[in-house]
């Protein structure tokens, strides 16, 4: 199979590339490296089945050729991360929506019908505080927090574009609503909580929890997430599909900080930082984010291979080696494989 991954030098995209190369597929990655890293792809560079182009999806001259070559396209290219969303609100809208629209417009004009998997986000659920978030819920965002919701708006627009092009042109589409994804190669530079907590714990610095810490999230290892994507895309039938992708184990930020401190054998104190200090004015957080995975489990035989503890142990080990050159003090990694 020929696989094109936009944004493939990023955290999730690089794991997706690894999965498909291991399956014997040919993989073409395009990334402008604005947040992705060439180092994430270093293990694949010598593979005859791998190609990388550094390019912006809005201007990439080879898009039509690559789309015609591909049997499956994963569209992950986007401006991501809370810090970037707040710092670059207009770019979030312009880039995320325009890149998705250009991709589908190019596919429709070519007459080819590769399968397209579009990365969406749990952010599209907005302020909903339901125990479980289901794919059939109405999507909405707040108008009270200025540009904080621009990422959500861009992902709602991307979903609408994907489903509209699928309906009009018959393009097979899967929209994957990612919940919080963690794992090797993730950076805390753009506001991702787990790598930030791990870094602070390993360094012995205060672990900074924003707000009161009672807000909850559900974390899934990237390697499980990309397996779920592949399974959804490989299911029988080509009807357009929207599906939650993640893990339904829920944990508060206070409990997460305590867990990371424990797994790292760290003496770091836990410090609570007001949202105003962390993000500035008009920021709104989400109190709860837990996916209903019924659709994913009904359509596939997906099962998680990594527990939260498995992933945290691996991240702590990697960060400690990077900072000190030794694994001293880390807990043994137990990695479930199939």
DSSP characters over 180-234: EEE-TT--STTS-HHHHHHHHHHHT--EEEETTS--EE-EEEHHHHHHHHHHHHH
Extents of the domains making up the chain = 2-183+219-245
Q: Which residues contact 264 (CB under 8 A, 6 or more apart)?
A: 198, 201, 202, 316, 320, 329, 330
DSSP letter (8 states) at residue 311: H
Q: At what angle do helices 308-324 and 193-203 cross, to 10 degrees?
A: 50
In 3D space, the residue among 103, 100, 53, 106 whose CA is nearest the CA of residue 78 turns out to be 100
Tokens of 98: 């325009």
* Domain 2-183+219-245 CATH class label: alpha beta
For residues 105 and 107, what is the distance between their CA atoms, to the nearest angstrom?
A: 6
Of 84, 302, 318, the closest CA to residue 176 belongs to: 302
3-state helix, strand, coil in the chain (%, to 5): 45, 15, 40
Q: 281-287, long-range: CB within 8 Å, 24+ apart, which pairs?
A: 282/144, 282/145, 282/146, 282/148, 283/86, 283/145, 283/148, 284/127, 284/142, 284/144, 284/145, 284/148, 284/149, 285/210, 285/211, 285/215, 286/127, 286/215, 287/129, 287/214, 287/215, 287/216
Question: What does each of the 338 residues of the chain score in pLDDT, given as a tens digit?
Answer: 999 999 999 999 999 999 999 999 999 999 999 989 999 999 999 999 999 999 999 999 999 999 999 999 999 999 887 778 778 888 899 899 999 999 999 999 998 899 999 999 999 998 777 889 999 999 987 766 567 788 999 999 999 999 999 999 999 999 999 999 999 999 877 678 999 999 999 999 999 999 999 999 999 999 999 999 999 999 988 889 999 999 999 999 999 999 999 999 999 999 999 977 766 666 677 889 999 999 999 999 999 999 999 999 999 999 999 888 877 654 434 344 43
pTM of this prediction?
A: 0.92
Report which of 294, 303, 184, 200 is spatially closest to residue 253, judged by C-alpha positions.
Answer: 200
**Are 193 and 256 a contacting pair, CB within 8 Å?**
yes
Distance of CA 303 to the CA centre of its chain: 18
Question: Distance (Å, rounded) from C-alpha 185 to C-alpha 180?
Answer: 15
């Amino acid at each position: 199979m020929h696989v094109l991954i936009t944004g493939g030098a990023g955290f999730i995209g690089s794991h997706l590339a690894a999965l498909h190369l291991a399956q014997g597929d040919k993989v073409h990655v395009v990334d402008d490296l604005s947040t992705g890293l060439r180092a994430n792809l270093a293990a694949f560079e010598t593979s005859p089945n791998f190609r990388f182009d550094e390019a912006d999806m809005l201007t990439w001259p080879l898009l039509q050729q690559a789309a015609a070559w591909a049997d499956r396209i994963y569209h992950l290219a986007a401006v991501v991360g809370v810090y970037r969303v707040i710092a670059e609100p207009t770019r979030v809208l312009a880039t995320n929506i325009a890149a998705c629209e250009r991709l589908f417009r190019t596919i429709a004009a070519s007459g080819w019908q590769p399968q397209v998997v579009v990365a969406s986000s749990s952010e599209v659920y907005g302020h909903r505080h339901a125990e479980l978030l289901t794919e059939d819920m109405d999507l909405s965002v707040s108008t009270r927090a200025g540009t904080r919701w621009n990422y959500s708006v861009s992902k709602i627009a991307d979903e609408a574009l994907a489903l509209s092009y699928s309906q009009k042109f018959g393009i097979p589409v899967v929209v994957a609503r990612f919940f919080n994804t963690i794992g090797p190669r993730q950076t805390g530079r753009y506001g991702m909580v787990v790598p930030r907590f791990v870094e602070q714990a390993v360094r012995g610095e205060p672990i900074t929890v924003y707000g009161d810490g009672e807000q909850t999230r559900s974390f899934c290892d990237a390697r499980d997430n990309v397996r779920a994507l592949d399974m959804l895309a490989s299911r029988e039938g080509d009807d357009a599909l929207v599906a939650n992708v993640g893990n339904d184990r829920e944990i508060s930020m206070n409990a997460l900080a305590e867990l990371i401190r424990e797994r790292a054998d760290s003496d770091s104190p836990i410090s609570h930082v007001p949202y105003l200090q962390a993000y500035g004015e008009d920021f709104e957080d989400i109190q709860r984010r837990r996916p209903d995975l019924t659709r994913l489990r009904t359509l596939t035989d997906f099962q998680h291979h990594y527990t939260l503890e498995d992933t945290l142990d691996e991240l702590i080990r990697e960060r400690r080696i990077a900072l000190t050159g030794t694994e001293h003090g880390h807990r043994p990694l137990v990695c479930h494989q199939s």
